[in-house]
Amino acid sequence: MAAILIFGLGYTASRLAARLRGEGWSVIGTRRAADAGAVAFDDEDAVRIAIAGATHILCSVPPDAHGIDPVIDRYGALLAQQARGWIGYLSSTGVYGDTRGAWVDESAPTGTGRRSARADADRAWQALATHLFRLPGIYGPGRSALERVATGRAHRIDLPDQVFSRIHVEDIVDAMIASFDGPRGVYNIADDRPCSQNAVIEEACHLLRLPAPALQSLDGAGLSPMARGFYAENRRVANGRAKRLLGWRPRFADYRAGLADCFARSATSSPTIDSTPPTAAGIDQR
C-alpha cells in the first residue's frame, strides 16, 4: 500500500491528505500532539517508524520565528538516509525576491528578497527533497479574497504597477500527485495569469455584489508589517516547467476561475462567509 508521511497538516497538505485517503492511501501526519491520523512531532520514535514505513514524504512546515527549519533540524539526518521513495517540500516563490514585475522561472537566483529564512530552507531542502514546489499566494475555499471582502478586511492599494501570482489549493494538490511519477527537481506552481491584488479584490466584490473598497495609499491603509511586505515585492511566476515535465495544467488558470470555484463552494453569497482560515494546531502552516 502506498503510504505518505506529511510533516505539517496545514491548509494545503490537509487537502492532499484527504485526496490520497480517498484513493486508498495510508496517510499519517505530524502535529504538536498525537491524534487520529497524526503523530506528535516531538515523538522521535513514532516519527522514525512513520518515516521507515512511508513510500512518500511531504514537508509543508516553514522555518520558525528564529529562521530554523524544525524538520531539518530534528529529522534531516534521518531523511537523508531515506534513499527510496518520493520526498516533497512546499517552498515559496518569495525566495526570488522583487523582480519589478519581471517573469521568473526556476533558474532565477534566490535569496535576494525579504524572506531569507525561506531561501535558506529552500536550499537545504534541495539536498533532501526529490521534488520541491515553489508556491505563490495560496487561496481556496475558506481562504480567499471572498472572506476578506465579506468581513471588511479587504484593501485596494494605489500601486498601479503591482502584480503577483497566485495558485488555487487544488491545483497544488494536482501538481504534487502528478509529480509522483515525474522527474525530480524544482517546480514553480502558479496559475497562468499574474495580476494586481486590486483585480482579485474587485472580482471578489463582483461575486459578492458588494462595492469595492476605496483606493488607499500604502501608508494610509494601516497595514501590518507582514502585509506591507507583500506589496514590497512585484513579480510574475512562470509555470512552464511543471507543464512540460509533469504534464500538469492548472484547473483554475486565473483568479476569476479560482474565485468562482470558491464562491460556488461557499454555499452563500452574503457577507457571512466564514473568515477563519482552516489551520491545524502546531507547526502546520501551508
Identify residue 149 by its one-letter amino acid code. V
User: Who wins on pLDDT, 271 or 79?
Assistant: 79
Looking at residues 39-57, what average pLDDT do you find? Answer: 95
d(CA 135, CA 164): 12
Q: What is the mean pLDDT of residues 217-236?
A: 88
pLDDT at 175 over 80: yes
Query: What average pLDDT does this structure show over 16-32?
Result: 96
Contacts 24+ apart (CB under 8 A), 199-203: 199/255, 200/145, 200/166, 200/255, 200/259, 201/145, 201/148, 201/149, 201/154, 201/155, 201/156, 202/156, 203/145, 203/255, 203/256, 203/259
Report whether pLDDT(29) > 60.
yes
The grid coordinates of residue 110 equal 534566490
pLDDT band at 163 (very low <50, low <70, confident <90, very high): very high
Determine the average pLDDT of the residues in 241-268: 94
pLDDT of residue 284: 35
State the amino acid at position 279 in one-letter form: T
The model's pLDDT over 129-162, given as tens digits with 9 standing for 90+, comes to: 999 999 999 999 999 999 999 999 999 999 988 9
3-7, 18-22, 126-130, 140-144: which range is least confident on average? 126-130
Residue 267 pLDDT: 56
Amino acid 65: pLDDT: 87
- Is the pLDDT at 273 greater than 70, yes or no? no
Lowest mean pLDDT among 34-38, 179-183, 255-259: 34-38
Q: Which residue has the higher pLDDT, 229 or 188?
A: 188
Q: Whole-number mean pLDDT of the chain?
A: 91
Instruction: Please give the average per-residue pLDDT across 215-229, as a whole number.
Output: 88
Each residue of 46-56: b (16+ CB within 10 Å) or e? Answer: bbeebbeebeb
Average pLDDT over residues 12-41: 94
Is the model's pLDDT at 38 over the cut of 70? yes
Q: What is the DSSP letter of 140?
A: B
Name the pLDDT band for 82 (thresholds 50, 70, 90): confident
Residue whose cell numbers read 501570482: 165
pLDDT (average), residues 191-209: 97
pLDDT at 258: 98
